[in-house]
Structure 1
Amino acid sequence: MAEVAEKERRILVAIDEGEESMYALSWCLKNVVSQNSKDTLILVYVKTPQTVYMPLDGTGRRGSQSGYMFSSDIFAAMERYTCEVAGGVVEKAKKMCWDVLQQDIMIQTRIENGDPRDVICHMVEQLGADVLVMGSHGYGLIKRAFLGSVSNHCAQNVKCPVLIVKKPKTNG
């Protein structure tokens, strides 16, 4: 019987600072990535845009003399910080990949800017992902209604299978 060549898979894993995404990555490494395959793991971190609120003066107008504006130095410091956080999360995720698999695997990393829902969907399409793996924050109905569910949005809008990994609750 002839052996069928194993297809290369592009597995996109959405990561962030949360325990849920690192758990999803760990679960993916143990249960989805094949030890002897040519899988490519694509780690995607999305930096959300910084929201700046202008203070209101006593009349309800924005930006009056009693108000203040952020200087470009503060914006630059905020951007440096978000870049450091993103870099740290990506490095932690890459280290986890090497520690869990104990072998070389093709890993690509991307740090993108924008709304995570839109960016992740776009990256799946742009990079030709065969599967999308995401963690679930496990928000309740009310919180999900206000914040929106990134995983639900992606599951509804990407054209590949989506694996949403929920971290088990710990007792205590």
Structure 2
Amino acid sequence: MMAVDESKESMHALSWCLANLVSATSNSTLVLLYVKPPPSIYSAFDIAAKSRKRSWERRGKGCVICNTVEKLGADTLVMGSHGYGFLERAILGSVSDHCAKHAKCPVVIVKQPEEN
């Protein structure tokens, strides 16, 4: 199973998955799970609430992905990484970290190559 959203990191992970894990001769099925929360509107004075909401949205995405993995009986989960640092992950949360800890199958996290 491949979890995707509209990010460039997700599209890179999908390309990597197609090039490295899925082949024309394999008998496996690739399931794409599109997870994108609805956009939220905030005022300039609501930054703290926005950070908390993003953290909950990310955790919610992780729960949706892990629940779908379990429901479909996926044998591998592939997803991209936004490359957040420690502080960003602590404040905003990380879907890939959540899934790596809670998914009922191996999780492959594909990092975006560093831009020079």
TM range (shorter): 0.7 to 0.9
Residue matched to 1:157: 102
Deviation above 4 Å: which 4+ runs of structure 1?
Answer: 49-54
TM-score (norm 2): 0.80
**For the residues of structure 2 that align with 1:20 and 1:168, how far apart are their CA atoms?**
9
The Cα shift of 1:35 comes to 2.4
Q: Secondary structure at the match of 1:133?
A: strand
**For the residues of structure 1 that align with 2:25 and 2:115, how far apart are their CA atoms?**
33
Residue matched to 1:32: 21
**Greater helix share, structure number:** 2
**Greater strand share, structure number:** 1
Once the two structures are superposed, residues 102-156 of structure 1 have per-residue CA deviations (whole angstroms, 9 ceiling, x without a partner) of: xxxxxxxxxxxx9211100001001110100000000011111111010010010
Bigger CA radius of gyration: 1
* Unmatched runs of 5 consecutive residues or more in structure 1: 1-11, 55-113
Is 1:16 aligned with 2:5? Answer: yes
CA RMSD after TM alignment: 1.8
Equivalences, count: 101
Structure 1 residues 144 and 37, CA, compared in 2 at 3 Å: closer, same or farther?
same
**For the residues of structure 1 that align with 2:77 and 2:110, how far apart are their CA atoms?**
11
What is the identity percentage for the equivalent residue pairs of Structure 1 and Structure 2? 60
The Cα shift of 1:53 comes to 6.2
Matches within 5 A, 1:6-85: 12-49=1-38, 51=40
The Cα shift of 1:52 comes to 6.2
